[in-house]
Chains A and B, each alone.
Chain A
Amino acid sequence: MHKNSLIQLSRALDRREISSVELTEIYLDRIARMDGKYNSFITVTAELARAQAREADQRRQAGNNGPLTGIPIAHKDIFCTRGVKTSCGSRMLDNFIAPYDATVVEKLRRAGMVMLGKTNMDEFAMGSSTETSFYGPVRNPWDLERVPGGSSGGSACVVAARLAPAATGTDTGGSIRQPAALCGLTGIKPTYGTVSRYGMIAYASSLDQGGPIARSAEDAALLLTAMAGFDARDSTSAERPAEDYSTHLEDSIEGLRIGLPREFFGEGLDSQIGAVIESAVKQFERLGAVVAEISLPNTRLSIPAYYVVAPAECSSNLARFDGVRYGYRCDDAADINDLFSRSRGEGFGAEVKRRIMIGTYALSAGYYDAYYLKAQRIRRLIRDDFHRAFAEADVILCPTSPTVAFKLGEKTDDPVTMYLSDIYTISINLAGLPALSLPAGFVGRLPVGLQLIGDHFGEARLLNAAHRYQQATDWHLRAPEGCG
């Protein structure tokens, strides 16, 4: 049963071929047997899942259900879940039981989804490999010696290993798309403001967006429809009518203008990945798309600007962790500053501390104009590049990551090397655009991800193009050895 996609499971539940209780047991059993080697869950909520599954079966019995009712899901441990530990991958929140549900959790719960547990992640979503987690690294199901990507590495691992049909993730600089790419999955980061950030622990508030990680565009569309929508509790939520992202999946992509940004295919791109992307482009052409080269000249400035904007916002957001109201508190504080400084010094890991310090420095007296304001000016240049590009193209196509999954420990010594692995994803967050990653082939036995970028609120078109591609190819149907 675990081999089925989310849509197939939904149909099986409709036809009463299986109950939600039975389905939930299948996944709980797989997690219990297999997760020892992946470390993808921080918390497994087995009893809660069983109770939610019983309730889902009752709803289905009463005909009071939607397509997602009774389907299990795993949530990234960045989303607050009432009564359940919400750690954000940090020692700081190891003792934190969230007092309320995030809007995303509440919406999927209302749709009848069954929460299996909370997935491992880079600490406070700061990382590209899930190695900065307080709970230890996650392993990639395609090769246990390699990282699953990050920061939503636990969520990607869970879906790739078929420990859940889908999972939630968040993306500040690539944290949904890059792990989806490295694990052979489909993940979408929506337009800034599409998915509510209420109850999603903040890293960089002007960049953070939640979204689904699934096995296909079709599954992701169904999930995004349930997750998205205006929320008065998030002051940056986009006030737009609700959208059904599944409606246009089957539309023809005849005449779709696909732009290839010249800057994304140059130096630094693994040639074997380049070849995979090239053959995917040919496939899109066979489906009727029209391909042309475009230019995003300021892309090279996106990582420098990101490493001002994101740390500045992080240093402000993470100021709330003071050892007083919740979270880790040091022992035997000598005075109030010792309480703050040691609780934070002991509660945060090395990468989080680095980003807080970079942000603190960039925002400190005398440096604001040179760093933060400069980065915001560059942010406009990057967004304007995309504006111009979308006059010529409906969708932009490029690799998601410059390499396939790298080895555990390979990039942990030098933070800057790790930062450069997000070169193709980070500019999208700065511009607030939607983008998805889908599997497009392999290098050896490791999956390669292809990224499609859309104009603001163009999610439906991205999902449509991805779905048509997936109808013509079977990369998204491959499973890691021992998981299929």
Chain B
Amino acid sequence: MTLEKTDVERIAWLARLKLSDNDIPEVARQLSSILALVEQMNTVDTVSVAPLAHPLELSLKLRDDVVTEGNQRETFQALASHVEAGLYCVPKVIDT
């Protein structure tokens, strides 16, 4: 699979990664060479092989639906750069 400029732009958009226009040809080349490596997977037929999601095939443990953590809003919000009145601030998303 060789990726074109528009493919890279679409992937970067899906991943919310801003790339500089100058970098896109080189990124396209590198991603294409990684995909060429990955596509060596197609040299083996796996139709009858079930996918393996967990190396030991264990399922995740469930816990009771109870509150285990106290309120740490101030501790956590101290890590954010834009906070006001206990809220995280982002650019306006709704037009008025």
Q: Are A and B a genuine interacting pair, yes or no?
A: yes
Q: Which residues of chain B are near A346, meaning CB under 8 Å? A: 18
Q: Which residues of chain A are near B54, meaning CB under 8 Å? A: 206, 236, 432
* A304 engages B52 (CB within 8 Å): no
The docked-state distance in angstroms from the alpha carbon of A373 to that of B49 is: 10
* A377 engages B50 (CB within 8 Å): yes
The docked-state distance in angstroms from the alpha carbon of A328 to that of B76 is: 15
* A415 engages B50 (CB within 8 Å): no
Contacts known (A206-B54, A307-B34); A378 close to B44, Cβ less than 8 A: yes
Decide if the interface of chain B is mainly helix, strand, loop or mixed.
loop
Judged by a CB distance under 8 angstroms, whether A407 is at the interface is no
B residues at A contact (CB < 8 Å): 7-8, 11-19, 27, 30-31, 33-35, 37-44, 46, 49-56, 58, 60-61, 63, 72, 75-76, 79-82, 88, 90-93
* A339 engages B79 (CB within 8 Å): no
The docked-state distance in angstroms from the alpha carbon of A337 to that of B12 is: 12
Judged by a CB distance under 8 angstroms, whether A159 is at the interface is no
17 contacts across the A-B interface (CB closer than 8 A) = A193-B56, A322-B16, A324-B82, A341-B18, A342-B18, A344-B16, A344-B18, A357-B27, A361-B11, A361-B35, A364-B14, A377-B52, A378-B44, A379-B51, A380-B49, A380-B51, A383-B55
Contacts known (A99-B79, A206-B55); A357 close to B17, Cβ less than 8 A: yes
Contacts known (A301-B44, A345-B19); A354 close to B30, Cβ less than 8 A: yes
* Closest A residue to B76 using CB positions: A99
Across the interface, A336 reaches (CB within 8 A) one of B33, B76, B93, namely: B93
Q: Which residues of chain A are near B72, meaning CB under 8 Å? A: 99
Q: Which residues of chain B are near A304, meaning CB under 8 Å? A: 37-41
Contacts known (A239-B61, A376-B52); A329 close to B81, Cβ less than 8 A: yes
Across the interface, A415 reaches (CB within 8 A) one of B34, B40, B41, B61, namely: B34
Q: Which residues of chain B are near A333, meaning CB under 8 Å? A: 90-91
Decide if the interface of chain A is mainly helix, strand, loop or mixed.
helix
Most chain B C-beta atoms within 10 Å of own C-beta, residue among A304, A337, A353, A433: A304
The docked-state distance in angstroms from the alpha carbon of A232 to that of B93 is: 39
* A416 engages B60 (CB within 8 Å): no
Judged by a CB distance under 8 angstroms, whether A340 is at the interface is yes
Contacts known (A345-B18, A381-B49, A415-B33); A232 close to B63, Cβ less than 8 A: yes
* A308 engages B38 (CB within 8 Å): yes
Judged by a CB distance under 8 angstroms, whether A224 is at the interface is no
